[in-house]
Amino acid sequence: MKHLAAHLPWPRIKALAHSNAWALLPIGSTEAHGPHLPLNVDVVIAQEVCSRVSSSLETVEFPPVTYSLTDFAAPFAGTVSVPAETAKAMLVAIIRGIGHAGFTQVCVVNHHLEPAHFKVVHAAALEASSPSFRVVVPDHRRKPTGPLLGDEFMHGGSHAGAYETSLMLAAAPHLVDEDARRALPSLSVDLPAAIKAGATNFLEAGGADAYFGAPAAASAEEGNRLFDIITAATLDAMRRR
């Protein structure tokens, strides 16, 4: 069962922390996600994963981190990027702050997949953890989970393509502009290869509308299938010792 930390008074938080509940910290970004999705896609996905994980565990979900390092979407309106050092200092403080309530374990549920950002999350988790405070960062890009999420996901089309759009159709369909989505031509760009070749943002990588992959091929059914895989992988990481 999920409790929302923001809605509880401190004695309840303290009691839940001391009952060995898991703290959850969803992390997303505020960044352009194509002409069919809102800026908060990564936050919506992270919070949905927190909800699904909580159907089999007692959890306390903290308010999400909504501003992150997001340089790749920087050329597009609405994207707000935070420098790596600032983002890391903020994350370390937030994770330690959660620990101060008495939680012994926190799962950092990150769904903003920009490599430089994920590096910041891993580094912050390491710095904030201690022998009495376990900080888990599931990373669904890695094997064996990544390949299960499909070819588009593995080859860099995970930004606002069929992968993220399907997750949004499953979690928050009211936030998807269906007319815009259906009209988008598929755009297959190997993002990791483009980055290696020197691209420093989505525009330079060939994504003139801040999306890659095939949004038109997305479906809620596929989104639920993807959420099942991500939820299982997240629970696995939490249970691993």
Q: Which residues sit at the interface with Zn ion, rule CB under 5 A?
A: 41-42
Q: Which is nearer to Zn ion, 59 or 110 (CB)?
A: 110
- Least distance to Zn ion, CB of residue 33, Å: 6
In degrees, rounded to 5, the angle at the alpha carbon of residue 14 between the alpha carbons of residues 18 and 24 is 80
Chain residue whose CB lies nearest Zn ion: 42
In 24-134, alpha helices (H): 41-53, 84-100, 115-128
Considering the complex, what minimum distance in angstroms separates the CB of residue 193 from Zn ion?
Answer: 19
Q: Which residues pair with 134 in a beta bridge?
A: 105
**Cα 84 → chain centroid:** 17
Q: How far apart are CB 158 and Zn ion at their closest, in Å?
A: 7
* 5 versus 41: smaller Cβ distance to Zn ion: 41
Q: What's the Rg (C-alpha) of the chain?
A: 18
Residue 113 · residue 160 · CB < 8 Å: no
Phi, psi dihedral angles at 161 (to 5 degrees): -90, -150
- Neighbour tally for 2: CB within 10 Å: 18
Torsion angle of the four alpha carbons 34, 35, 39, 43, in this order, in degrees rounded to the nearest 10: -60
Query: For residues 16 and 205, which CB has a smaller minimum distance to Zn ion in the complex?
Result: 205
Q: Which is nearer to Zn ion, 103 or 222 (by Cβ)?
A: 222
- Distance in Å, CB of 224 to Zn ion, minimum: 18
In the complex, least distance from residue 29 CB atom to Zn ion, rounded to whole angstroms: 7
Residue 30 or 129: the one with the smaller Cβ distance to Zn ion is 30
Nearest distance from C-beta of residue 205 to Zn ion, angstroms: 15
CB closer to Zn ion, 21 vs 33: 33
Angle 91-93-95 from CA coordinates, rounded to 5°: 65
Strand partners, 59: 2, 22
| 3 state DSSP class of 198 | coil
Q: Which two tokens stand for residue 53?
A: 């994980």
Of 92 and 160, which has the nearer Cβ to Zn ion?
Answer: 160
Residue 222 Cβ vs Zn ion, minimum distance, rounded to whole Å: 16
